Amino acid sequence: MSLHDVFLLPADPQLSPDAATNARLRDRLAHEPLAARLLHHDHVQFFDCGEGFESVACPRCHAEIALEWWGETMDRDHDGAGFALAPHAMPCCGHGAALNHLVYRIKQGFGRFAITYPDPGGQPDPHLLADLAGILGCRLIVVHRHL
């Protein structure tokens, strides 16, 4: 782990690629000078953005959510091993939304699987993202973590 890392997360937080898919991901990543690693977890983990975190908002009415409420809900949703990502009534409008569907600035995400590499700066190559998403069969969320 370095101070600045990129995490590529499947938009489906439960997605856990099988051995054949892992091999295809590794083959594709071998063409990149990224020193990428594949992270596998049995339970859904939170991938935070570190010091860049600004705010979290409701996905329906876009009201900013108090960080105190968000922190308590993160605790409540976590069973000690991972996140349930159960629907929670938003404090603003009562809309039921799971933690992974909130609007995070800067981007953060949840998942059982991630591709990570030291951040070379800038945004990931869109061709690489498209290839990896194609192999996984799932759109990817890009999280930049700066500690």
The residues binding Zn ion (CB under 5 A) are 58, 60-61, 63, 90, 92-93
The Cα 55–Cα 67 span in angstroms is 8
Closest CB to Zn ion among residues 47, 104: 104
Closest to 105 measured CA to CA, from 141, 49, 51, 55 = 55
For Zn ion, the closer of residues 90 and 141 by Cβ is 90
Q: Residue 127: which H helix or E strand, with range?
A: helix 126-136
131: its two tokens: 């290839």
Minimum Å distance from CB 93 to Zn ion?
3
Question: What is the sign of the dihedral through the CA atoms of 107, 54, 1 and 45?
Answer: negative
Least distance in angstroms from the C-beta of 73 to Zn ion = 13
> In angstroms, what is the minimal distance from the CB of 12 to Zn ion?
23
Q: Residue 59 or residue 120: which is nearer to Zn ion going by CB?
A: 59
Q: Is the peptide bond before 115 cis (omega within 30 degrees of 0)?
A: no
Minimal CB distance residue for Zn ion: 58
Q: Helix (H, G, I), strand (E, B), or coil: what is residue 1?
A: coil
For Zn ion, the closer of residues 23 and 61 by Cβ is: 61
